[in-house]
Amino acid sequence: MVEREFGHESFYLVARDGGAVRGVLPLIHVRTLLFGSHMVSQAFVDYGGPLAETDAARDALFARAVELAGREGCQDIEFRNIQPMPYDLVCRTDKASMWFPLAGDPEALWRGFDAKVRNQVRKAEKSGLAAAGGGAELVEEFYRVYTARMRQLGTPCYSRRLMQGILETFPESSRIFVVRREGMTIGGGITTFLGRFAEMLYASTLIEYNSLCPNNLLYWEAIRHYCGAGARWFDFGRSTVGGGTHQFKKQWGAQQVQLNYQYWVRPGTELSVASPDSPKYQWKVRMWKRLPPAVADWLGPRISRGLP
């Protein structure tokens, strides 16, 4: 899907032993004029890196990835691991995911929430907000909220093609949830569901409605839905440890899962990670916030294809 929507070449490495598959490693070659040439496992999602049954399989996959990155002229490889690999690599630990265990009965979960969380959901409902779920037919209204929020944050938005591509490529295991006020969409999120594990990939609400707690209603609607769908875990998504979104997710009682993003860096090359949290990018964030909406919405997808 990423290759089709963005033109980034994909490589899928498989380690075999006597014909039996012992490990896999997906790689996407993200190459743009603005940001250079990089391998990412896995682009546009939070998780990646090798899955291997044995150390030998893992080592073989890693060695092949380095060989491939060298052949393709990549500056680095980003492995989006949970468990770090035992190699001498640069490692970032500033990001974490928040996983929440689900139960078949959503009312049992509701009773276990902190009183503050329950009150915020009730406030949203008493304020006239309503949540709904669906598929690709909701992409347009979600995308309007998403692009507006990205402008407020000073971050280039991903393309609508990415959102549409997720829903169309995985129609049985992806879903959009939206929150509306008097018929107008003020929040939404895209989720995936695979192997009893549900994940919020992208979520946005309009900041001017924050006092009505649309975020709380959005996540509760998704949690309630996936309880009924048989999920055992709900992943609130990646956030910066200690940041505002991290604290929001923590109040639900979710468990923090440390992410260990590791980087192989080409000899003679300096690692450069484009992140809005980095001090050296703050002036770009401020500049982006000042752009007219039409300009930001046109430029954003063209820039973000190199920011996976």
Q: What is the pLDDT of residues 103-123, one digit of tens each?
A: 888 999 999 999 999 999 999
Q: What is the pLDDT of residues 21-75, one digit of tens each?
A: 999 999 999 998 888 899 999 999 999 999 999 999 999 999 999 999 999 999 9
> Do 107 and 149 sit in the same domain of this protein?
yes
221 to each of 131, 215, 264, how far by Cα in Å? 7, 10, 40
Query: Is pLDDT of 275 > 70?
Result: no
Q: What is the pLDDT of residues 82-93, one digit of tens each?
A: 999 999 999 999
Q: Which domain covers residue 251, as residue numbers? A: 96-257
Report the range out of 196-200, 243-247, 268-272 with the highest average pLDDT. 196-200
For residue 169, being part of any structural domain is answered with yes
Query: Is pLDDT of 303 > 80?
Result: yes
Residue with the larger pLDDT of the pair 182 and 296: 182
For residue 294, being part of any structural domain is answered with no
The pLDDT confidence band at residue 252, using thresholds 50, 70 and 90, is very high
Note the pLDDT of residue 293: 83
> Do 88 and 102 sit in the same domain of this protein?
no
> Do 249 and 160 sit in the same domain of this protein?
yes
Q: What is the mean pLDDT of residues 180-190?
A: 96
For residue 301, being part of any structural domain is answered with no
Closest CA to 276 of 192, 152, 181: 152
- In this structure, what CATH number is given to the domain that contains residue 154? 3.40.630.30
Note the pLDDT of residue 276: 58
Rounded Cα gap, residues 238 and 46, in angstroms? 7
The pLDDT confidence band at residue 273, using thresholds 50, 70 and 90, is confident
Query: Is pLDDT of 228 > 70?
Result: yes
Note the pLDDT of residue 304: 85
Note the pLDDT of residue 290: 84
Strand runs labelled E in 233-290 = 233-240, 255-258, 260-265
Note the pLDDT of residue 274: 62
For residue 287, being part of any structural domain is answered with no
Closest CA to 131 of 217, 195, 72: 217
Note the pLDDT of residue 277: 60
Note the pLDDT of residue 185: 97
> Do 117 and 226 sit in the same domain of this protein?
yes
Note the pLDDT of residue 116: 94
The overall average pLDDT reported for the chain is 92
Q: What angle do CA 99, 188, 137 make, to 5 degrees?
A: 120
Rounded Cα gap, residues 255 and 86, in angstroms? 25
Query: Is pLDDT of 211 > 90?
Result: yes
Note the pLDDT of residue 284: 76
Environment class of residue 4 by beta-carbon count within 10 Å: exposed (0-12), middle (13-18) or buried (19+)? exposed
How many domains are there within the chain?
2
Note the pLDDT of residue 120: 96
The H-or-E segment that residue 226 falls in is: helix 214-228
Note the pLDDT of residue 81: 96
Query: Is pLDDT of 302 > 90?
Result: no
> Do 117 and 19 sit in the same domain of this protein?
no
> Do 69 and 178 sit in the same domain of this protein?
no
Please list, in sequence order, all residues whose beta carbon lies within 8 angstroms of the beta carbon of residue 23, skipping any fewer than 6 positions away: 14, 15, 50, 51, 52, 53, 54, 57, 58, 60, 61
